[in-house]
Structure 1
Amino acid sequence: MNMLNKFWNDEAGFVVSSELVLIGTILVLGVVVGLATVRDQVVQELGDLALAISNINQSYSFSGVTGHTSSTAGSMFEDLTDFCDPTTDTADEEPACIFVQIDPEPEGP
């Protein structure tokens, strides 16, 4: 009975476990917020990369060539902008046509 009373009255581990729960909770909240920020920034950078790639002008042209006994006609290709490409790009804007958050649809009939 004496040993049971010692265990019942012992509170040495209580402070340590409550501190660990508090520290663990703060760490988990910080990790969640940090990962959400990393996700948003990765999407932003990938959108900027896609915009940079879409701004590469792939137009080409060459004129006809005439030799001694043969000739070839010229050719031309003009790269037009896509429907989603913005005319200007700034660092503070979200990438074109990339949405990180979509508004929820209303529930019910």
Structure 2
Amino acid sequence: MNMLSKFWNDEAGFVVSSELVLIGTILVLGVVVGLATVRDQVVQELGDLALAISNINQSYSFSGVTGHTSSTAGSMFSDLTDFCDTNVDGAGTEPECINVQIDAVEGEG
């Protein structure tokens, strides 16, 4: 009975474990918020990269060439704007042409 009362009155381990639980909870909440922010910024940067790639001018042309015994006609290709490249992508805006659609699953909710 004496040993049981000593364990009952001993609070040394309780303080350490409650502090660790509090610190662990704060760390987990910080990591979750941080990862959500990283996810959003990665999507934004990938959208910016897609916009930069779509703005590369792929047009080319060359004129006809005539030599001593042969000739070739010229050719031309003009790169057109994609259907979703109508707005200028600015800071703080969502990337264009990125649509996320999740279909509803029957039986949930």
Sort the TM-score into its range (normalised by shorter chain).
0.7 to 0.9
Alignment of 1:1-109 (within 5 A): 1-99=1-99
CA distance in 2, matches of 1:63, 1:97: 36
What residue identity is the alignment partner of 2:39? R
Deviation by residue 1:52-91 (Cα, 9 ceiling, x = unmatched): 0100010001110000100000011111111122342222
- Residue aligned with 2:47, SS: helix
Q: Where do 5+ consecutive residues of structure 2 fail to align? A: none
Across the aligned residues of Structure 1 and Structure 2, the Cα RMSD in angstroms comes to 2.0
Deviation by residue 1:10-68 (Cα, 9 ceiling, x = unmatched): 11111111111111101100110011001100110111011001000100011100001
CA distance in 2, matches of 1:12, 1:74: 88
CA distance in 2, matches of 1:37, 1:5: 50
> Matched residues, percent identical?
85
- How far residue 107 of structure 1 moved from its aligned partner, in angstroms, is 7.0
What residue identity is the alignment partner of 2:46? L
- How far residue 105 of structure 1 moved from its aligned partner, in angstroms, is 5.2
Q: Where do 5+ consecutive residues of structure 1 fail to align? A: none
* TM-score normalised by the chain length of structure 2: 0.86
How many residues are matched?
107
- Residue aligned with 1:94, SS: coil
- How far residue 106 of structure 1 moved from its aligned partner, in angstroms, is 9.5
CA distance in 1, matches of 2:2, 2:87: 82
More displaced 10-residue stretch of structure 1: 16-25 or 31-40: 16-25
